[in-house]
Chains A and B, each alone.
Chain A
Amino acid sequence: MLSRDIWAAGSEILIGAGSILVLLFEVLARRARPVWAYRTALVSVAVTVFLLAAGSLGRSGVFWHGGLVNDPLSRLLDIAAGVATFLVLVYSRPQLVRHGLERAEHYFLVLTTLLGVLVVDSGGSLLTLYLGLELLALSLYALIAIDRRRPLGAEAAMKYFVLGAMASALLLYAFTFLYGLAGSFRLSVVARALAAHPGSPLTLAAVAFVVVALAFKFGAVPLHFWVPDVYEGAPTAVTLLVGTVPEIASIALFMRLLGLGLGAASGDWGVLLMVASLLSLLVGNLLAVVQLNVRRLLGYSAVGHVGFILLAFQLGGRGGETAAVYYTIVYVFMSAAAFGGLTLLEARGEKSTTLEDLSGLARRDPWMAFFLLCALFSLAGVPPFLGFWAKLIVLRRVIMAHETGLAIFAVVMAVVAAYYYLRVVKSMYFDPPPAPGGDGAAAAAPVPVFSRVWLGINALGLLVLGILPEGLWSACRMAMSHLLR
């Protein structure tokens, strides 16, 4: 019985053990070198992803008295989060080394972030969902402020922390309502209790609080204020992490908590999410247009993408939810490529803060410019790339639900998004490089081939999977057809 439970938590245990190992090196080694922490982290993530993909971890079922639910969805999201973390580790190390930020604690906190995501992915009770979320959030707070020479990072971490603590408090408040209603933390019991008491005012209050808390975690308008600040203020390697892996936990939380736990109240949260989605599309995309700082631009554009994800999710029903999950996974890998490119540019000693810093990149480093181009085209939704299919599937779902007005609005906003993404591309390819005398080519140092190759795989993957979109989509549909709670 217990051994079965332990086996079921295999991925969590592997990552947890990896993080402990990173700390143990730090404690036991006479002169610890962070590169060992990096290798340990990389290996434990790679092994976990491999075992998950091979199907030897995460047998389907409900374990730990309902605390852990393994189903195809949790496996898919676990793999996506693991691959994203692997890429984040690979991209971030050269930059960390160059800026003197490489510490074992950094890798430890990246691993605990992933651990939090894994716990949320397969969370079957309110308790595990909350604890996973806190593990994830606490690691991120520390990572954002980890560079103490950078006041902007401390400020961003403070904002994120204060708002995040409020969101957590709201979530806990909602959980007390749900517990009062159901008398159990288990999502299956909560779902049954909600179905038995339709329209209870307590449900309404719980739904409102849950939506507010989740909207914060995802960075949806009107709770998006932290997004651009954190994207700009955090060290680049951390921005790369914040912009990718936690999104998986956000969609998992939406699926588990709203889709499976509060599914009976989908009428209540659908309206709230629709408003949040429309506002996110509008505010995120319009504010991204006026940004000159690339990271703030990507921050606001992330808000816009969340708008798309919520637009699919608020439709309710498996179709919309599948589209939302698909969009999120696609977005995570587009975002990983975009921020990975920026991170590796910084690792070469270039600046990548403003649009001007990027101008003429195609002449200085054609490959890097091409990888960034793939990521940006995909984010913009240009046809052969993967991002196009994500947008298309969401729009098709919206139209199938006879919400043509919403679909038209989303298309208009996607066009706005294409404008500012293509402006970055134009700056890379057609603008003259910044005036010499800056630290452009002179300080450029070679980036490790390993990181570049992975960035290439990531960027070209967006193109190849865009040409052959069937695999990922059917994997998502498979995962969503056998949900457990």
Chain B
Amino acid sequence: MLHDYFGVLVFLIVGAVVGAALLVLGFILAPRHADPVKGAAYECGFEAFEDARIPFDVRYYLVAILFIIFDLEIAFFFPWAVALRELGPAAYAAMAVFFAVLVVGFAYEWRRGGLEWE
């Protein structure tokens, strides 16, 4: 099974090497004239006076949480799809019920306005 992943390994190595090489080359070759002003955060010309962390709308959480839930639902589909040929109608029906339950959840979310942005 691991043979199949050899390509992934090669890809990882090439990616790491190329990424590192570009950074290193930039570090070596580029002219550098360091100056504190150059490194300062640019905020419309005046000095940064605030932390980047500010209270977000709780709505972002809602989107993220709903994303997680439906992401998990997707995760259930993979083994089902792979094994469906051997499983027969019972597994198909079971997935239909599972999916229906979550579709109700999705419809509820839609109806409640969970997908709208104000």
Contact between A and B in the complex (any CB pair below 8 Å): yes
Closest beta carbon of chain B to A127's beta carbon, Å: 15
Judging by beta carbons under 8 Å apart, are B111 and A27 in contact?
yes
Judging by beta carbons under 8 Å apart, are A23 and B90 in contact?
no
Judging by beta carbons under 8 Å apart, are B111 and A26 in contact?
yes
Which residue on A lies nearest to B110, using beta carbons? A27
Contact partner, A27, options B90, B101, B107, Cβ 8 Å: B107
Contact partner, B101, options A2, A20, A26, Cβ 8 Å: A20
Interface residue B15 (Cβ < 8 Å from any Cβ of A): no
Expressed in whole angstroms, the Cα–Cα distance for A83 and B9 within the complex equals: 59
Closest beta carbon of chain A to B78's beta carbon, Å: 19
Which residue on B lies nearest to A24, using beta carbons? B104
Judging by beta carbons under 8 Å apart, are B104 and A20 in contact?
yes
Closest beta carbon of chain A to B2's beta carbon, Å: 25
Expressed in whole angstroms, the Cα–Cα distance for A343 and B90 within the complex equals: 46
Residues of B close to A26: CB separation below 8 A: 108, 111-112
Judging by beta carbons under 8 Å apart, are B104 and A2 in contact?
no
Closest beta carbon of chain A to B89's beta carbon, Å: 9
Expressed in whole angstroms, the Cα–Cα distance for A474 and B24 within the complex equals: 81
Contacts A20-B101, A24-B104, A27-B104: A2 and B111 contacting too (C-beta < 8 A)?
no
Interface residue B105 (Cβ < 8 Å from any Cβ of A): yes
Q: Sort A-B residue pairs by CB-CB distance and give the 5 closest, nearest first.
A: A27-B107, A27-B111, A23-B108, A23-B104, A27-B108
Residues of A close to B108: CB separation below 8 A: 23, 26-27
Given contacts A23-B104, A23-B105, 12 further A-B contacts (CB under 8 A): A2-B90, A20-B101, A20-B104, A23-B108, A24-B104, A26-B108, A26-B111, A26-B112, A27-B104, A27-B107, A27-B108, A27-B111
Count of A-B residue pairs with CB < 8 Å: 14
Expressed in whole angstroms, the Cα–Cα distance for A20 and B101 within the complex equals: 7
Residues of A close to B112: CB separation below 8 A: 26
Residues of B close to A20: CB separation below 8 A: 101, 104
Closest beta carbon of chain A to B103's beta carbon, Å: 10
Closest beta carbon of chain A to B65's beta carbon, Å: 12
Residues of B close to A24: CB separation below 8 A: 104
Residues of A close to B111: CB separation below 8 A: 26-27
Residues of A close to B104: CB separation below 8 A: 20, 23-24, 27
Closest beta carbon of chain B to A22's beta carbon, Å: 10
Expressed in whole angstroms, the Cα–Cα distance for A27 and B111 within the complex equals: 6
Closest beta carbon of chain B to A361's beta carbon, Å: 40
- Binary interface encoding of chain B residues 63-102 relative to chain A, with 1 for a CB under 8 A from any of its CBs, else 0: 0000000000000000000000000001000000000010
> Which of chain A's residues 12-27 have a Cβ closer than 8 Å to chain B?
20, 23-24, 26-27
Between-chain CB contacts (< 8 Å), 7 pairs: A2-B90, A20-B104, A23-B105, A26-B108, A26-B111, A27-B107, A27-B111
Expressed in whole angstroms, the Cα–Cα distance for A24 and B107 within the complex equals: 8
Residues of B close to A27: CB separation below 8 A: 104, 107-108, 111
Expressed in whole angstroms, the Cα–Cα distance for A24 and B101 within the complex equals: 10
Expressed in whole angstroms, the Cα–Cα distance for A266 and B20 within the complex equals: 59
Which residue on A lies nearest to B94, using beta carbons? A2
Closest beta carbon of chain A to B62's beta carbon, Å: 14
Expressed in whole angstroms, the Cα–Cα distance for A2 and B104 within the complex equals: 25
Residues of A close to B107: CB separation below 8 A: 27
Which residue on A lies nearest to B112, using beta carbons? A26
> Which of chain A's residues 453-485 have a Cβ closer than 8 Å to chain B?
none
> Which of chain A's residues 171-207 have a Cβ closer than 8 Å to chain B?
none
Which residue on B lies nearest to A13, using beta carbons? B97
Expressed in whole angstroms, the Cα–Cα distance for A27 and B114 within the complex equals: 13
Residues of A close to B105: CB separation below 8 A: 23
Closest beta carbon of chain A to B9's beta carbon, Å: 30
Closest beta carbon of chain A to B90's beta carbon, Å: 5
Residues of B close to A2: CB separation below 8 A: 90
- The residue among B105, B107, B108 with the most chain A CB atoms within 10 A of its own CB is B108
Closest beta carbon of chain B to A348's beta carbon, Å: 32
Residues of B close to A23: CB separation below 8 A: 104-105, 108
